[in-house]
């Protein structure tokens, strides 16, 4: 029988050699180092920055007592049919709508849109607020594709006030069209091209005829 070397018994042949603690931890360190390198390559070292949310629309200013009364009066006319010369919820035209609504606030305005344009306080487009009256020239009665031609062949149409409505806010206004009382947008091409200005009638202390 062959002798075994000194210090190495036969029972030790099936026993795996012991590794030092430093050597046994080395594979885990290599794995962690590999994961860190992969994260850097994939751009996951830091979470992406989320852009700030866009600010919402500014809050609507609190209505004055006059404006509250005006708003309630306009509700009675929503959807009313168009009638030339009319000034009631059963039938109304553009200036008749303005006339009737402001009468309920205690203001006596002239009858026609042209006459109403000559009264009140002028307001710039960027300064419009609820209750202002917006005015348009006769080009608003042309078809969408015809305002430029109408202005060339009939220059007086661009100077004649023939339509108006009550501003609601956010570029919208209430007016009496041939389809009845409805809401329109000042940003629409037809109204943007024919816009002539605005007047403010809801002034402190003004509760009588102009």
Q: What is the pLDDT of residues 1-34, one digit of tens each?
A: 444 443 434 444 445 455 445 444 555 565 555 5
Q: What is the pLDDT of residues 106-157, one digit of tens each?
A: 999 999 999 999 999 999 999 999 999 999 998 887 655 455 555 554 667 7
Question: Choosing from 9, 140, 162, 175, which is the catalytic residue?
Answer: 175
CATH of the domain at 187: 3.90.1720.10
- The whole-number average pLDDT for the span 83-89 is 96
175 is catalytic: yes
Q: Is 1 a member of any domain?
A: no
187 is catalytic: no
Range of the domain at 107: 65-200
Question: Choosing from 94, 140, 162, 187, which is the catalytic residue?
Answer: 94
What confidence score (pLDDT) does residue 144 get?
52
- Give the total number of structural domains in the chain: 1
**Dist. CA 79–CA 175, nearest whole Å:** 10
Q: What is the pLDDT of residues 43-82, one digit of tens each?
A: 444 434 444 544 444 455 678 888 999 999 999 999 999 9
Q: Is 90 a member of any domain?
A: yes
Provide the pairing of β-strand 133-137 with 195-200.
Answer: antiparallel
* Alpha carbons within 13 A on the beta-carbon side of 34: 6
Output the pTM of the full model: 0.66
């Amino acid at each position: 029988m062959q002798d075994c070397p000194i210090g190495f018994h036969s029972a030790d042949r099936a026993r795996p050699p012991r590794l030092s603690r430093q050597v046994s931890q080395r594979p885990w360190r290599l794995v962690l180092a590999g994961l860190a390198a992969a994260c850097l390559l994939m751009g996951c070292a830091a979470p992406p920055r989320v852009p700030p949310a866009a600010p919402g629309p500014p809050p609507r200013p609190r209505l004055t007592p006059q404006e509250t009364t005006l708003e309630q009066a306009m509700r009675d006319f929503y959807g009313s049919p168009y009638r030339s010369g009319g000034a009631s919820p059963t039938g109304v035209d553009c200036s008749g709508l303005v006339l009737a609504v402001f009468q309920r606030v205690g203001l006596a305005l002239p009858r026609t849109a042209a006459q109403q344009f000559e009264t009140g306080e002028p307001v710039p487009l960027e300064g419009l607020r609820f209750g202002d009256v917006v005015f348009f020239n006769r080009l608003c009665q042309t078809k969408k594709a015809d305002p430029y031609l109408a202005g060339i062949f009939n220059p007086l149409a661009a100077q004649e006030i023939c339509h108006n409505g009550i501003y609601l806010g956010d570029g919208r206004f209430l007016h009496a069209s041939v389809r009845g009382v409805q809401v329109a947008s000042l940003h629409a091409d037809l109204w943007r091209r024919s816009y002539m200005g605005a007047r403010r009638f809801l002034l402190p202390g003004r509760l009588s005829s102009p």
